[in-house]
Amino acid sequence: MSKLFEETTIKNLALKNRLVRSATWEGMCDDSGRPTEKLITCYRNLAQGGVGLIISGYTFVRLEGKQMPGKMGIHTDDFASDMKSLTDAVHEVGGKVCIQLVHAGGQTNSKYAGRQPLAPSAVQVEQFPEVPQEMSAQDIQEVIAAFRDAATRAKDSGFDAVQLHGAHGYLINQFLSPLTNRRSDEYGGTIENRCRYHAVRKAVGHDYPVMVKLNGADFVDGGLTTEDAVYAARALDKAGIDAIEVSGGTPASGKESPVRTGIKTEEQEVYNRAPGKAIKDAVKCPVMLVGGIRSFDIAEKLIVDGTADYISLSRPFIREPDLPSRWQSGDHSKATCISCNACFKPGLKGIGIYCVAKEKEEAAVKKL
């Protein structure tokens, strides 16, 4: 039997296989952050496609932490029934769903945040137009409380777990990175002072899975190194985090961004392999690995050789939500995603993401 399709548990969460749909911005919520029927259908399709765990698109915990249009919010109790409809839709078809919690920090603008962006230090983030305001100690405590309250709402709404987004240059990553955290108080300086996660665990209890997405490296000069990431991972593991998903890069990382294009060969796959293995070797908790994985044989080998415990995919599931079922049926051909990133453009237009390449291919066939 394939190792990918073994049943496993994270904390007390039973998963039917080791395939994870990594958090993906879908652009399918209304302007307030409320989930829509389109998003619920998307998640139902993913669950029916056989993935072991769905991790939601990044979900803002405070209004000023919003970054993109169509992004989901859990900053208010007002969406409770909508969130419950989403989790019910997944559970009704045998799926499991985790919510990813995020604050964009300096990686946003006043259009979406409704104010000058907040960040650990007043350091402008590349590709974002505004210099953020340095957070006061009170600001930090309010954001910590927002993560805590969001986790409580998520648990009450039926999500099976929560994941804190500590990667890709968002607020938690900004605190961890010496490039964006230049504070001299207890929230800055050494990696010890840059690594603090406790409020969410206290809010949801010790029996509920709490995970973290962590950059194995920022791939930018002066940013988080793999050495620092390993230290942070060990600290999280010791604190009782239930799983770590390893990614890498920020919008400032150029060709080493979190969503690299042009993945055509096996050599181009698994671009976070080295930092992922370093973190896997340093912790006892399960490790998920994301980043350009497209081939069944490569995914299987990553599990067999101990590089990761779970395989996370994002863009392949946009084109093939039923990829897990296909692989489990014995069709082990490579995911058909061509890694062009055109799928995200419809989300910016308010339509929601979908595979544009597949649409073009199908249209071309109809013309024949």
Cβ atoms of residues 58 and 29 within 8 Å: no
Question: What are 93-131's pLDDT values in tens digits?
Answer: 999 999 999 999 999 999 999 999 999 999 998 789 899
pLDDT at residue 206 greater than cutoff 70? yes
Structural domains of the chain sorted by starting position, each given as residue range(s) with its CATH number in brackets: 3-367 (3.20.20.70)
Q: What is the mean pLDDT of the segment spanning 158-184?
A: 96
In angstroms, the Cα distances linking 367 to 84, 356, 360 are 43, 17, 11
Q: What is the mean pLDDT of the segment spanning 130-136?
A: 97
Strand 59-60, strand 53-55: pairing: unpaired
Q: What is the mean pLDDT of the chain?
A: 96
Question: What are 60-106's pLDDT values in tens digits?
Answer: 999 999 999 999 999 999 999 999 999 999 999 999 999 999 999 99
Question: CB-side exposure of 194: number of CA atoms within 13 Å?
Answer: 28
Q: Of these residues, 43, 112, 170, 208, which one is catalytic?
A: 170
Cβ atoms of residues 262 and 339 within 8 Å: yes
In angstroms, the Cα distances linking 94 to 45, 48, 82 are 11, 8, 19
Report the predicted TM-score, pTM, of the whole model to 2 decimal places.
Answer: 0.96
pLDDT on residue 1 = 80
Round to whole Å and give the CA distance between 186 and 171: 16
Confirm whether 231 is a catalytic residue: no
Q: Could you tell me what percent of the chain has a pLDDT over 70?
A: 100
pLDDT at residue 368 greater than cutoff 70? no
Round to whole Å and give the CA distance between 215 and 219: 9
pLDDT on residue 310 = 99
Please report, for the chain, how many H helices and E strands are present, in that order.
Answer: 14, 13
Task: Look at the alpha carbons of 195, 201, 202, 207 in this order and tell me if their dihedral is positive or negative.
Answer: negative
